[in-house]
Amino acid sequence: MNDVYYPDLSPLKTGLAGKCPRCGRGDLFNGYLTVADTCSSCGLSYEFADGGDGAAWFVMLFVCVVGVGSILGIEVAYSPPFWVHALIAIPLLIVLPLLLLRPAKGLLLCQQWKTDARPGRLEQ
């Protein structure tokens, strides 16, 4: 028999690192957000991966709260001119989603594999 033992890995650890949810070694992504076909280390097929818009929704929610909160906080604390808000808010609202989207998608995909989540089906 060719049974291989894979340890019970945390979806948080593997997802944020963009690694395979089964072995934790192979890459989950083939590009910035493109999911690879299979794990290069253990051969797990990633055809189960259906991230949908979940990661984008969570990232937008978080970035909007942080972005608007920081803009309001700066306004209340310092009352700076408009150009200071533009100098701080625009990079924050562009860079933060770019940094968070890949780890969030990896986390959701690894959690999907861990819980064996599948699309809902109607019973006939």
| 35, 39, 63 from 45: Cα distances, Å | 11, 7, 32
What domain range is 51 assigned to? 11-115
pLDDT digits (tens, 9 = 90+) for 77-90: 999 999 998 898 88
The reply to whether 56 falls in a domain is yes
Per-residue tokens: 4: 């291989």
Task: Specify the number of domains making up the chain.
Answer: 1
The reply to whether 67 falls in a domain is yes
d(CA 13, CA 103): 10
The reply to whether 123 falls in a domain is no
The reply to whether 25 falls in a domain is yes
CA 87, 65, 91: angle at the middle one, nearest 5? 20
3-state secondary structure of 54: helix
The reply to whether 54 falls in a domain is yes
Residue type, 57: W
pLDDT digits (tens, 9 = 90+) for 18-70: 999 999 999 999 999 999 999 999 999 999 988 789 999 999 999 999 888 98
The reply to whether 122 falls in a domain is no
Q: Whole-model pTM?
A: 0.87
Residues 28 and 109: beta-carbon distance below 8 Å: yes
Torsion sign across C-alpha atoms 62, 65, 69, 70 = positive
3-state secondary structure of 45: strand
